[in-house]
Amino acid sequence: MADLRNNFVGIKSPNPFWLASAPPTDKAYNVERAFKAGWGGVVWKTLGEEGPPVVNVNGPRYGAIWGADRRLLGLNNIELITDRDLYTNLREMKQVKMNWPDRALIASIMVPCEEESWKAILPLVEETGADGIELNFGCPHGMSERGMGAAVGQVPEYIEMVVRWCKQYTRMPVITKLTPNITDVRKPARAAKAGGTDAVSLINTINSIVSVDLDNFAPNPTVGGKGTHGGYCGPAVKPIALNMVAEIARDPETYGLPISGIGGVTTWRDAAEFLVLGAGNVQVCTAAMTYGFKIVEEMITGLSSWMDAKGHRNLDDICGRAVPNVTDWQYLNLNYIAKAQIDQDACIKCGRCHIACEDTSHQAITQFVDGVRHFEVMEDECVGCNLCVNVCPVENCITMVGLEPGTLDQRTGKTVDPNYANWTTHPNNPMAKQAAE
């Protein structure tokens, strides 16, 4: 059995699956249930400063998009940080941590961007026995209008400043949660590192209008006739999150900075993808909000089975393994040539590959051969774009097969060159550099 124990910036948990700071971690009742279900850790729903708690809207807080069979693909929300009293939360956190000493319990915090506010809350949190803190610099709605959340996360200087205060006023590890609502996520990550953060976590939710009520001409969720942008999450955001994680993981300035991966993790496979792209663990929310806490069993057993099958002993064996293979487009090998190949035994003859290629791409797939409905790749037209693979409803029916060096590419009439060559040296590139002698 693969060893799934996780040590993230010194915070230990029995597995790398944490629940992200969100409604599922708002109170002891939920968190106790999560730990019983097997979650390795939780980031408690964001605490605000002492005083009257924030208030939430009393109408709908969530909107969604769905795929076939109404599978939830994307969720957005306009909920704020915890609307419970600070001391109630702190008391429950302390009790839960005592009850579950082997699980990670992190406090998410969002207070005004003033040193005194952070200085005031940190000792209170530390007293609960929490394993660390996560700075919520990502919440894109409501709190950002008050100068907190994403309003801080979008200004690298503020990030550095607040992180520095936190490192100054607490011994707890500091995880800085980043917003994706920014042009270049490396900038805030570098700022957090400069401030001394122990880790970053990303992504927070994405600014979004999830749909529009066409009867009332208002965004969903509609609260009394009006809507606002909400934070988007769920399976749909995973590709964006993976890219941002990888960008930070391979940035020389932040290389080695621990990352807690967040964004659409729904299955063990999603989690594994985050881990190999440089995340030290993952945080999950939407999947739990869609299916309940039990899904962690699938994640644990799935990750474990895959690691066993591949001979990976522990998380260190896989973390970051894909990072060296993430590169810039300009370094991709232009001499690598692949062609689509259709497995005729698996083909169900739906014709989707043909029409996609015919209407929108390279006219490289037949519809009829000798008058019979038959879908076959014409190698002399195929550019290897992979569109047919992606639209085919049968998994592994169409595959991309790389041409062996020395064989003929029927499309170009040229022999496949065994040597690596990229755009930086390509003759069509006006900026091409001469290969070093």
- Euclidean distance between CA atoms 335 and 338, whole angstroms: 10
Question: Which residue, 345 or 437, is less far from another protein as judged by CB?
Answer: 345
Query: Which positions touch another protein (CB under 8 A)?
Result: 68-70, 348-352, 354-355, 367, 373, 393-394
C-alpha distance from residue 259 to each of 131, 176, 194, 414 (Å)? 16, 9, 15, 45
Question: Which residue, 172 or 382, is less far from another protein as judged by CB?
Answer: 382
Question: Which residue, 393 or 427, is less far from another protein as judged by CB?
Answer: 393
Question: Which residue, 361 or 422, is less far from another protein as judged by CB?
Answer: 361
- Euclidean distance between CA atoms 50 and 82, whole angstroms: 12
Polymer length in residues for the chain: 437
Torsion from C-alpha of 202, 205, 208, 210, nearest 10 degrees: 120
Smallest gap from Cβ 237 to another protein, in A, equals 23
Q: Which of 139, 233, 319, 388 is catalytic?
A: 139
Smallest gap from Cβ 231 to another protein, in A, equals 27
Chain centroid offset of residue 230 CA? 17
139 is catalytic: yes
- Euclidean distance between CA atoms 379 and 368, whole angstroms: 16
**Torsion 2-274-159-194 (CA) sign:** positive
Smallest gap from Cβ 69 to another protein, in A, equals 5
- Euclidean distance between CA atoms 382 and 176, whole angstroms: 46
SS3 label, residue 34 = helix
Burial class (CB within 10 angstroms; exposed 0-12, middle 13-18, buried 19+) of 85: middle
Of 247, 229, 287, the C-alpha closest to 74 is 287
Smallest gap from Cβ 356 to another protein, in A, equals 8
Smallest gap from Cβ 212 to another protein, in A, equals 14
- Euclidean distance between CA atoms 258 and 364, whole angstroms: 45
Question: Which residue, 57 or 350, is less far from another protein as judged by CB?
Answer: 350
Question: Which residue, 317 or 381, is less far from another protein as judged by CB?
Answer: 381
Smallest gap from Cβ 364 to another protein, in A, equals 15
Element of type H or E holding 413: none
- Euclidean distance between CA atoms 171 and 132, whole angstroms: 9
Instruction: Please give the structure tokens belonging to residue 388.
Output: 């047919």
Smallest gap from Cβ 226 to another protein, in A, equals 24
- Euclidean distance between CA atoms 267 and 260, whole angstroms: 16
Question: Which residue, 33 or 373, is less far from another protein as judged by CB?
Answer: 373
C-alpha distance from residue 59 to each of 23, 25, 218 (Å)? 16, 21, 14
Catalytic residues: 139
